[in-house]
Chains A and B, each alone.
Chain A
Amino acid sequence: MRFARATLCFALLATTATSACSLHLEQRDAVASRRRSYNNAFFWRHNTQFRTSGAIHFAHGKQHDVLQLGTLAHAAEIDRDFEAECLAWFRDPPRMEPTMMTYGPHVGQAAWRLYQAIDWTHIHHEQTYDILSDRDIPWSKKAEVTRDAVDYYLENLPRAARSPAPLELTMRRAMVMMKPYFGVYRNNHPRSATFFYYAHWWHPAIYEAQMLGGNGSEQDAIVDATHATSTEVLANRPQRMLLSREIMPRYSRMSPESANIFDNLHMLHGIAYAILAYDGWTIDEKRAELYRVVEAMSAQPGDRELARKFAIEHPDVDPRRYEPWMRGYEGPMNKMMEEMFEGMWPMMSPDGSKEVPPEVREQLKMKLSPATQPGELPGSLHDAVMKLVPNMKMDKEGMKPGATPKHAAMATKEWLDKAQGMPNVEPFPMTDGAAK
């Protein structure tokens, strides 16, 4: 009896102490993955690729702690060592896919909701690979079963689920360009950043290989051949984040929701790394900003209706080929960032002019590229632009951790208006035995 009383007192004391100290407390709210007959199909059918996905997710998890526990002063050394570790894991991938907490426990304790969003979406990755891998699901049913997986993903953890709307919308909601961390990760950790550019080529390339292969044995051959392209891509990495619509146009047409969810996740990775790499904020401030971005890029009412609002430039891409257009700066991701900046500029320029000065545009391009380019001004994009245009009108409140810049609402509305006139991308015909 004495023990029971002591236990109760301990629990009450702990609860009182934690609430009194206004410590950041939240519930875990874990939800199990959808249990269906297709579970494990990717694991058994494409085990090499399953394990490669595990290596990539190891890198994602550990990068959080490496950046948070490291310092910008030692960034070059940290970047070199971490890239070497990522490549070693790529060569000898893990047997299982680790959760973010497994190799990044420090940040997991500081900002749990970030990990919840990432892990929940990685489960969606795994399930959608499973669906395409499972021979027992007729090809004509793949879209329907994928839609069911998307429903489960969106409905059960709406705050953790990434938006099914295109990145053009969610990036405007998040509006991170003039935050003090923007560019810090790409500038100071270019080897790691481009490893993830490779990873974000690999994930969609494997989906597209499955789409090309169909249910039969051709899927195995095309997936293996696509995976083999990794060597070439790693040796000459993309200089931008590749979008789902670029590398997996067929899959994006079959499940635009799922494709956008992955783009939103991949961009969240990059923003989270920039926030953690930035050394001007405390961990509490970083959490406030991380949670703001997690929220801004989450699934929100009306997002699903916008899922098909994107254009496909290369509908017949072959994922086995690493095309020249996949490698450089030019592409939809950076075009989107430049358009956002152009939209913000009239509100920032001292004289209200609409034209972005050439020297500012040049700095923007350099800040959107990995590593420090010749002629690039140090610091964030904000720092560089302020040096060129000292009288620039700044939204000082919007730069603070956890605050949404005032440009966000207007930019979001502008894009929503524009989206009304945009045609929907066509569904992909999924007929039995004809994947192409």
Chain B
Amino acid sequence: MMRGALFLAVTLIPTTALAADHTNLEEGLPVEAADAYVVGHYSREVQALTRYEYSRERTSKVTLDPRFEWGVIRNGQVAVRVPVVLETGKHVDIGRVAADALYNFNQETLTVPAFALGGMIEAPTGAESRRKGFDPAVRLNVTKHLPGTTFLHALHFNGVWQFNVRRDEMERSGRYRLIGAYSFRVSSWIMGIADFAHEQRMQTGKVQNLAELGFRMQLTPLLVAAVGGGVGIGADSPAFRAAVAVQYRPF
């Protein structure tokens, strides 16, 4: 627990300069839900997420998740992430390294939502690298703002299917994750997001539910900070989770 808290503190110190647009929802920054929009073409963004999770078994897990995101084409972005995980009773470990891409098909209209399709591949590292494979995933993001009002309120849906390429005996062949979210403008520089994430774990028979609330704040024209937290619902879910993150366009 102490080591987790220390990790959290250390991670927060250097992340004073980091982002882009607080209205563009990004996965994990600070909640699970993302919108169907991508960063602008040419945007190169550094993101740093620190997440603390406390389980029902009274163990702590801190994940430091640095990412690089690039608006590589019009309406399309790619990102890579290399998480570092510190968990009670375990050695510091590199988490599952991931590369993902997302393409937005349309700007929403008064009646038609925005759609984005994406793909991801997760690579096993550290302790699990010898026995696990590269697991690809596909995702669909949908976003619709509420028409007829000047309030910036929007509904979001994320659906993810991840394949389990080299499964263990007690694992599924693949798993899904479903997220519903509601985002709302708090002020010119703060957006709020409430979401509910339901997902299968790779272990057979286990599902996780999380209800989250987060805020994204534009601190300077290039820097966004995000804070959020959530509570787990159900026996296989974490007891609670908290996240802080920053995004910055360094070059």
> Hey, which bits of chain A sit against chain B, CB under 8 A?
1, 3-4, 7, 10-11, 14-15, 18, 23-33, 35, 39-40, 43, 54, 58, 62, 65-66, 69, 94-99, 101-106, 108-110, 112, 126, 156, 283
Contacts and interface: CB of A to CB of B under 8 A. Distances in A.
Contacts of A7: 138, 140, 159, 161
Contact of A3 (B110, B161, B185): B161
A99 B23 contact: yes
B75 A25 contact: no
B217 to A, nearest CB: 9
A3 B178 CA distance: 10
B197 to A, nearest CB: 15
Given A40-B220, A40-B222, A106-B110, A101 B149 contact: no
A344 B220 CA distance: 49
B221 A31 contact: no
- Which DSSP category, helix, strand, loop or mixed, fits chain A's interface? helix
Most B Cβ at <10 Å: residue of A3, A23, A104: A3
Interface string B28-49: 0000000001111111100000
Contact of B152 (A33, A95, A97, A102): A102
B147 A28 contact: no
B188 A102 contact: yes
Nearest to A93: B188
A28 B43 CA distance: 15
A108 to B, nearest CB: 8
A254 to B, nearest CB: 24
Contacts of B173: 1
Given A7-B140, A96-B188, A102-B152, A109 B43 contact: no
A102 B23 contact: yes
Contacts of A11: 115, 117, 140
Interface of B: 20-21, 23, 37-44, 71, 74-75, 104-115, 117, 138, 140, 145-152, 159, 161, 173-174, 176, 185, 187-189, 218, 220-222, 249, 251
A18 B108 CA distance: 11
Contacts of B251: 35
Secondary structure of the B side of the interface? loop
Contacts of A25: 106-107, 109, 112
B12 to A, nearest CB: 21
A27 B107 contact: yes
Contact of B74 (A14, A29, A96): A29
A66 B150 contact: yes
Contact of B111 (A23, A54, A62, A126): A23
Contact of B104 (A28, A33, A101, A109): A28
Given A29-B75, A30-B40, 5 more contacts: A11-B117, A23-B109, A30-B75, A109-B145, A112-B109
B143 to A, nearest CB: 11
A65 B111 contact: no
Contact of A112 (B42, B107, B148, B185): B107
A18 B67 CA distance: 34
Nearest to B39: A32
Given A3-B159, A7-B159, A104-B150, A110 B138 contact: no
Contact of A69 (B42, B150, B189): B150
Greatest chain B CB density within 10 A among A15, A23, A94, A106 is at: A106
Contacts of A33: 40
A3 B176 contact: yes
A27 B221 contact: no
Contact of B221 (A1, A43, A66): A43
Contacts of A105: 145-147, 149-152
B74 to A, nearest CB: 5
A110 B161 contact: no
12 contacts: A1-B174, A4-B174, A10-B140, A23-B109, A26-B107, A30-B75, A43-B220, A54-B188, A65-B149, A96-B221, A102-B152, A112-B107
Nearest to A283: B110
Contacts of A98: 188
Contacts of B37: 28, 30
B51 to A, nearest CB: 25
Nearest to A112: B107
Nearest to A157: B41
Contacts of B151: 105
Nearest to B45: A32
B148 A106 contact: yes
Contacts of B187: 94-95
Contacts of B104: 27-28
Nearest to A96: B189
A103 B221 CA distance: 18
B153 to A, nearest CB: 8
A184 to B, nearest CB: 20
A24 B106 CA distance: 10
B40 A31 contact: yes
A207 B18 CA distance: 29
A14 B142 CA distance: 11
Most buried by B among A24, A27, A32, A126: A32
